[in-house]
Amino acid sequence: MKSDIQIQKDVMDELKWEPFLNSSEIGVAVKNGVVTLSGLVDTYSKKLAAEKAAKRVSGVKAVAEDIKVGISLGYRKTDTEIAEAVFNALKWHSAVQEEKIKIKVEDGTVKLEGQVEWEYQSTNAKSAIENLTGVRGVINLITVKPRITPSEIQQKISSAFHRSATVDSGKITIEVMGSRVTLRGTVRSFAEKEDAESAAWNAPGVISVESKLEIEIPEYAYEE
């Protein structure tokens, strides 16, 4: 197993690989495989990128994220200006039904509400506004209206697992109750865990995914 010191070094190296991240702005602490990120960045998208980078590192069991978004005075926007920019971004995004989404902005934090037919529409709505100037956070409360049966959902997720190059479908079981999915089994890495969860979320009609996937700890054989 990796030591906390090695995980810390690997996370810091991974942050340096992100082209638009200034790794010196982000602090990395590790305890028992749990990574805590801290610091100050100027955009919400950088905050997300740092978290995703840490999750890609093998040996990471969880990520506690305490990075703050600080907007310089020259780039600060009023909540009204941010709301208008969010509306326009959603309106011009081809994969978003902006007429079904309500926008609320408070102190730079954007709250999205409404109901769509596909999970990707909810995800795209959030990603469409993460890079907007002035946005300090995004709360996505958009729900997905189910249109298919639980057996169809299970089959579509299973097919997605089999198509995936990173997910070992043989070690994951899929349980569907209504439109709620539970994943059980083992995965080889945090990245595989996220890929499996993402595949489940992308299935049409899914409104929640409970992941009970566990990361395998590899056993090493040593010769004396």
Please write the tens of the pLDDT for every residue from 127-178: 888 878 888 888 899 888 766 788 888 999 999 988 888 888 888 999 999 8
- Alpha carbon distances (Å) from 190 to 50, 52, 118, 211, 216: 15, 10, 25, 12, 10
Confidence band, pLDDT 50/70/90 cuts, at residue 66: confident
pLDDT at 222 over 70: no
Structure tokens at 80: 């009204």
User: Given the structure tokens 């690989």, which residue do they identify?
Assistant: 17
- Alpha carbon distances (Å) from 160 to 164, 197, 199, 223: 6, 11, 6, 40
pLDDT at 96 over 70: yes
Confidence band, pLDDT 50/70/90 cuts, at residue 218: low
Chain centroid to CA 206: how far? 16
Least confident among 16-25, 122-131, 215-224: 215-224
pLDDT at 224 over 60: no
For the segment 73-87, the average pLDDT, to the nearest whole number, is 80
For the segment 24-36, the average pLDDT, to the nearest whole number, is 89
Separation of alpha carbons 115 and 107, rounded Å: 24
What count of Cα atoms within 13 Å lies in the side-chain half-sphere of residue 83?
Answer: 11
Mean model confidence pLDDT for the chain: 85
Residues 172/199, Cβ–Cβ less than 8 Å: no
Confidence band, pLDDT 50/70/90 cuts, at residue 220: low
